[in-house]
Structure 1
């Protein structure tokens, strides 16, 4: 008495030939077979079938939401990107701050540059005028020549 099982699913078989002795590790010729059964909707439970249907329609649904609400979706994406960027920047600064002697070195460099800037531009009236002229020329380059003095 023999029991036989019949299947209605089609089976795809892929055969890969292996060289007889690659790298001297294999002692004979052989082949690898990959059997992948085809998934049909008839064998799946209702919940799984519904989940697969929803996942199949998800890209079209997301595209529809984006086309209907481009400005809102773009704004939310930019806000989310800004939050991630700020968090990442703070994490990097915290990591740099934890390196021994690096934070005090940055503080000394900042104090030195601030001292030089005050000495160079803020102590004398002529250098303050030079600084305001440089700032005005920079603003006119960025904003245009609307406020140009004659």
Structure 2
């Protein structure tokens, strides 16, 4: 409540959020699939975070991955950013992807 809100203002905002979540939940047709997907996603997030922390503990792997990242960055910069025709092609490709996603240029 550092913004100056009184407790009454905060209490009136919470039900609106809860109501909007309930309305979104009621619009769903397959609630079991959404619940299962959320559960599987949480388990996948938990397991991948554990896997990444274990890989990070290996002595050679983080350095090798960092070296691979530096190498790819250098290769990308040389291939797409050094020469003007390559830069223009990259910009055109990015604009096309944005147009495909958004639908406007």
Distance in 2 (alpha carbons) for counterparts of 1:105 and 1:85: 25
TM-score (norm 2): 0.58
TM-score (norm 1): 0.42
Number of equivalent positions: 77
- 2:72 pairs with 1:113: yes
Distance in 1 (alpha carbons) for counterparts of 2:62 and 2:98: 33
Moved over 6 A (4+): none
Distance in 1 (alpha carbons) for counterparts of 2:29 and 2:36: 10
* Distance change >3 Å, CA 130–CA 86, structure 1 → 2: same
Structure with the bigger percentage of strand: 1
- Over the aligned positions, Cα root-mean-square deviation in angstroms equals 2.7
- Structure with higher Rg: it is 1
Residue 86 of structure 1 deviates from its aligned partner by 1.1
Unmatched 5+ stretches in structure 2: 1-27
Higher RCO (CA-CA < 8 Å; seq separation 6+): 1
- 2:60 pairs with 1:101: yes
Structure with the bigger percentage of helix: 2
